[in-house]
Chain A
Amino acid sequence: MGQHTAGVDRVLRSFGCEVENFAATVNSDSTLTAHHFTDHDQFPVPDLILYQLSTGSPVGEFVLDHPARLVLNYHNITPAEAFDPWEPAVGAELDMARRQLARLVHRASAGIADSHYNAAELTALGLDDVVVAPIIARPSSRLAGDSAARDADTVLFVGRVAPNKRHEDLIKAVALLRSTRPSVHLDLVGAPSSQRYLTALEALVERLDIGDAVTFHGSVPDDALDRHYSTASVYASASEHEGFCVPLIEAMAAGLPIVARDAAAVPETLGDAGVLVPGPDAVAMAFALDRVLGDPTLRQSMVAAGKHRATSYSADHARQAMTDALRPLIEVG
């Protein structure tokens, strides 16, 4: 979200606005200057608060009580039921986050959502003035790897190791796929959000005896992430809940064909640039991966469609969409 917030900051300043960023946790190595929200009284009272909302937070309570005009930039909240079996405390927090969202919607005058999927949630809660502007992702500076340099049969997924991402369905698909494609390998990049979930995934890999076919990379720096995008053969996602899914855009920009579960905002972000599979269906996912890995003509058309789709989500386009979304709100102020 740091890249997106920095992009929004830039857009607001382009209007001539004076902008201050506040957060509950300030990252010292962030390029964006931010202050702890409890220091707000050291700064002029704002005319407008643009609140980046993706979970519950004490900042939300602060915003609820603040008299300034409120606009929500909504990135969706993970459904509590995804975490309940694994981390009940986190599930409870997500439930509270949803309740806080409902209160924020009543307080807000407008909303900006990353996707129509997210916008529908705000509308359902009663917010009428909602526009869609995608996340301002990091510029796609990586080079799409030469097809000859890609590791054949390498499947990549990028995302937090969290129950809603359904890593187990990718692992199951790879276990099935091994019978016909013994060299298939699954690279899972992302830090764990639930140690219990990660432990279960590792146990699943061990019990299925596919330890040589699955690698948990954890969190990696940007250059290592770019290498994964450049060397994989296909990007796969079994996630059951996404409000937008930046890795899909990054994978498309990097020239990867995509196989993804048909869920939440994934079809909207992917469009017709990737193969959607019903979920949870490990057999369908395995067949889809096998088809994409084994059909060069299909891969070529998917890569082309993905690169075309990714251009419409470039940082420049996203900034323009955010500019168009904010302009009427700034002018009203």
Chain B
Amino acid sequence: MTDEVDTSNADAGLNIRRVRAEIEAEAEARRRADPELARREREIERVWVDVAPPGAAGEQHELLLDRADRLSMIDVDAPVGARSGVRQVKGAIRKATYWYLRYVTDQINALTNVLTRLLRRMDERLSAVEHAVGMTADDSELAGLIPGPSEGTAAAIAEELGAGQVAVLTSGAGSVVAAATASGVPAYGIDRDPIVILPGVEAGLDLRAVDPLTHLDSVVTGSLGGLVLAGVAETLPLPSIVALCGEAVRCVRPGGKVIVAVANPADRGSVEAELRAGRGLSPAAWVRVLERVGAVARIVPAPGPRITELVVADVS
């Protein structure tokens, strides 16, 4: 019954997908524009980190550092309770041992203070290293810096695609998805930014705001007829590119295609070259990487203006 094609609610289905895209775009836009919302969200998250055991609140190292800061001060003023008699005894013990406990805890507090400051410094340095090698990129800074493929390039990509469902990572507003769909190839797009995909969703395209690098984890081996790598593929460091190509080849059925649509780093404008994360690979280098993961790759011309060559890999 769940496999039956249900067309009676097709309109409702499209509306709900659009609602989802609108909600995600609004949430992201508000987060960027409203510091109070971001502050409140962070404050709530901090409370959860405080009450949950380590490891239960996700890999939010900044909040864990905050928690380490708060826990680093050992307090010798133990509560003595309210029950008469017991309170006096506990109070007397506390008073008698205070000088010794204070001597010990002052040293421990000094040490933990230094350790937590050292942890923060190491976190800052690690973040700086990650930014320097291009492992992270602030999407809001790069918004608009990498335009999506032109209509001509999108059409050229669609011509290379064969039968079977195609995934586009990352899709942006969906020019490639639109071109593929128009040529009769079922396609969906993945992009991290819910604001960027919203116009495409409202135009009826199947675009989804999920992390492109983890999306492939959920794709069944050999279930795709094709996979287009664009957008985020230009910003990744080499090890991530190799891993992404391996996953792409896994997800595409034998006889299907992996197509890489990226600008040649040599053709980037100076501003883009300076501001963008990641060195990027030339089409010839992409060919080498794809062949390394078992595909047979070739370079075909594309109309540009930014992407002048496509790498088309046949999955065997």
Which A residues fall within an 8 A CB radius of B? 84-86, 115-116, 120, 132, 134, 163, 168, 172, 175-176, 179, 196, 200, 203-204, 207-208, 262, 268, 271-278, 280-284, 286-288, 291, 298, 301-302, 304-305, 308-309, 312-313, 317, 320-321
| With A275-B20, A278-B210, A302-B16 as contacts: A284 and B27 at CB distance below 8 Å | yes
Q: Assess whether B4 is in contact with A283, with CB atoms less than 8 Å apart.
A: no
Residues in B with CB closer than 8 Å to A120 are 220
- Interface with A: B53-61, B133-141, B264-272, B285-293, which one? B53-61
List B14-50 residues whose CB lies under 8 Å from chain A.
14-17, 19-20, 22-24, 26-27, 30-31, 37, 40-41, 44-45, 47-48, 50
B1 within 8 A of A: yes
Q: Assess whether B45 is in contact with A85, with CB atoms less than 8 Å apart.
A: no
Q: Can you name 13 A-B pairs with beta carbons within 8 Å?
A: A84-B55, A86-B56, A196-B53, A262-B210, A268-B2, A275-B16, A281-B27, A283-B37, A291-B23, A305-B9, A305-B12, A312-B2, A313-B2
> How many angstroms from the CA of A208 to the CA of B48 in the assembled complex?
10
Give the top 5 A-B pairs by smallest Cβ distance, nearest first.
Answer: A272-B13, A85-B56, A85-B55, A203-B51, A305-B12
B233 within 8 A of A: no
> What's the nearest-Cβ distance from chain B to residue A207, in Å?
5
Q: Assess whether A283 is in contact with B27, with CB atoms less than 8 Å apart.
A: yes
Residue of chain B at shortest CB distance from A179: B40
Residues in A with CB closer than 8 Å to B9 are 272-273, 304-305, 308-309
Given contacts A172-B44, A271-B6, A298-B19, 12 further A-B contacts (CB under 8 A): A132-B2, A176-B40, A179-B40, A203-B51, A271-B13, A284-B23, A286-B27, A288-B23, A301-B12, A302-B16, A312-B1, A312-B4
Q: Is the interface of A mostly helix, strand, loop or mixed?
A: helix
Q: Assess whether B41 is in contact with A278, with CB atoms less than 8 Å apart.
A: no
Residue of chain A at shortest CB distance from B11: A301
Q: Which of B17, B24, B44, B220 contacts A282 (CB 8 A)?
A: B44
Q: Assess whether A282 is in contact with B52, with CB atoms less than 8 Å apart.
A: no
Q: Assess whether B44 is in contact with A134, with CB atoms less than 8 Å apart.
A: no
Residues in A with CB closer than 8 Å to B19 are 275, 291, 298
> What's the nearest-Cβ distance from chain A to residue B281, in Å?
30
B107 within 8 A of A: no
Residue of chain A at shortest CB distance from B22: A291
Which has the most chain A C-beta neighbours within 10 Å: B27, B40, B220?
A: B27
B209 within 8 A of A: yes
Q: Assess whether B30 is in contact with A272, with CB atoms less than 8 Å apart.
A: no
> What's the nearest-Cβ distance from chain A to residue B38, in Å?
9
> What's the nearest-Cβ distance from chain B to residue A276, in Å?
6
Q: Assess whether A272 is in contact with B16, with CB atoms less than 8 Å apart.
A: yes
Residues in A with CB closer than 8 Å to B20 are 275-277, 288
Q: Which of A176, A203, A278, A291 contacts B44 (CB 8 A)?
A: A176
> How many angstroms from the CA of A207 to the CA of B48 in the assembled complex?
9
B8 within 8 A of A: yes
> How many angstroms from the CA of A287 to the CA of B26 in the assembled complex?
8
Q: Which of B12, B14, B22, B51 contacts A204 (CB 8 A)?
A: B51
Q: Assess whether B23 is in contact with A277, with CB atoms less than 8 Å apart.
A: yes
Residues in A with CB closer than 8 Å to B3 are 132
> How many angstroms from the CA of A200 to the CA of B41 in the assembled complex?
18
> What's the nearest-Cβ distance from chain A to residue B219, in Å?
11
> How many angstroms from the CA of A115 to the CA of B2 in the assembled complex?
9
Q: Which of A85, A172, A278, A313 contacts B24 (CB 8 A)?
A: A278
> What's the nearest-Cβ distance from chain B to residue A42, in Å?
38
Residues in A with CB closer than 8 Å to B23 are 275, 277, 284, 287-288, 291
Residues in B with CB closer than 8 Å to A268 are 2
| With A275-B16, A284-B24 as contacts: A86 and B53 at CB distance below 8 Å | yes
> How many angstroms from the CA of A303 to the CA of B279 in the assembled complex?
50
